Structure 1
Amino acid sequence: MSVLPDDPAQRSAYWPLPIARAVPAAVLAGIITFSADHSATLGLISFGGFALVTGVLLAVLAWRRLGGMAVRPYLLAQGIVSIALGALALALPRGVPSLFLVVTVWAALTGALELYSGLRARRRHVASGDLLTVGAITAAAAIVFVLIPPEFAQQFTGPDGVERKLDSAVVAVGLLGAYAAIIAVFLVIAGLSAKWGTQKAAPAASDAVKGKST
């Protein structure tokens, strides 16, 4: 018998994972949003911390809560990739080439893994739709980073009359913050939807049992 996508046991096991993933994404978005420094150094350090924490949470929660489920191996692999690239981001020399390299590779690999896991889990796991959505957004982020010219730089005068410079690092770090904010909001909604689905499914299952007993 195939597992239905609205299986309450799956929902109960799955819902803490997107909530946990949303936390480092929200922190990353907050750091970038409220920082006046959008340099490559800030981007590498903040992204490295985000990727490390996200990878550990993915690996641990997938291992502990999703045993025997179709999505578990892919989420474990995604967690390992995030840990490796997060550590690499913190170890690489600070600069625009390092920022573009590590963020693009991370987004391409994890986006592909998440899309693949979502496709493999279709009609078999409640997480499939969430995985497909996050994977598509992450893969799109990789494409956007590839399209940003690393040598881009433009001088402009702000409203206060001070001359400023918009370069590829500022654009990349800003886009990274926007990506993190979108993912954080989506993951919170996905996690709470799964949790509420569990709570709604439980009374229904109880009513069905009572109906059979009578």
Structure 2
Amino acid sequence: MANAPAPSNVGPGYWSVAVGRALIAVIPAAIITFNRDHSAQLGLVVFGAFALASGLLLVLAGPRTLTVTTDRTLFLIHGIASMIAGALALGFHASGHGFFLFVVSVWGAVTGFLEIYAGIRVRKRAVPAKDWLFTGIGTAILALLLLLLPPNPVVSVGLFGAYLVFLVVFLPIAGLSLKWDRTRERRNTPANTAPTNSAPNDSDSL
């Protein structure tokens, strides 16, 4: 019993959610990075497609790969908020720079807070707390910079592109590290170790 792995808030398949979020960000990041047109309309279309796809991933896969009810709820809300923001951006893609700033900054504030809160709740567990905190802080910083920097479409859309590059780089590292850690845990766990319930309850995460 003493050698049993510590309970985790994520299931064995959660690593694929992190990698999936990164893969969704690859094409939008490339479009903004290699396209000279940094207009608000392009930004809304790219953001809308990204938010809609990543939100759908969280709604469909997030609850099935998380082991605590509160975490499932937080990421379900995260996914729904992303899908709503994405649908608004695509539906009103010709609304101009002001609408781009509004929808992306509100989305960043809401989803960034949700991910930061999720990370704080499980701060006693290095995984996934540090990954959720890092991603949430990055998203919140995006929202803050969009509000503080001069309202220039080139700057705003370029900043969102930089955020996408951050996701493309960080999330695969986080996801694959989690997968490899799980593999090492299985190898290091003695065969005669008694099985334990690996899913902590909500009170354990506070």
TM-score range, shorter-chain basis? 0.7 to 0.9
Offset of 1:24 from its aligned partner? Answer: 1.5
Deviations 1:140-198 (A, max 9, x none): 11110001232xxxxxxxxxxxxxxxxx1111111111111012211000000001001
- Using the size of structure 1 for normalisation, the TM-score is 0.82
Establish whether residue 202 from structure 1 lines up as the match of residue 186 from structure 2.
yes
Pair 1:142–1:87, CA change in 2 (3 A) = same
TM-score by length of 2: 0.85
- Output the amino acid matched with 2:118: S
- Residues 42 and 5 (structure 1), Cα distance of their counterparts in 2 relative to 1, 3 Å cut: farther
Q: Report if aligned partners of 2:10, 2:67 keep a CA contact under 8 Å in 1.
A: no
The one-letter code of the counterpart of 2:87 is A
**Percentage of pairs with the same residue:** 43
2:204 equivalent in structure 1: none
Q: Which runs of 4+ in 1 moved over 3 A?
A: 4-11, 67-70, 206-210
| Counterpart mapping for 1:8-27 below 5 A | 10=10, 12-27=12-27
Matched positions, count: 190
1:87 is aligned to 87
Q: What's the counterpart of residue 128 of structure 1?
A: 129
Q: Greater share of strand residues, 1 or 2? A: 1
Report matched runs for 1:33-72 at 5 Å. 33-72=33-72
- 1:44-193 aligned within 5 A: 44-92=44-92, 93-123=94-124, 126-150=127-151, 168-193=152-177
Amino acid at match of 1:49: A
On the 8 A contact 1:5/1:124 being kept in 2, the answer is: no
Instruction: Tell me: CA distance 1:85–1:104, structure 2 relative to 1, closer, same or farther (3 Å).
Output: same
Contact kept? 2:74, 2:114, Cα under 8 Å: yes
For the aligned residues, what is the CA RMSD?
Answer: 2.2
Stretch of structure 1 that moved more, 115-124 or 130-139: 115-124
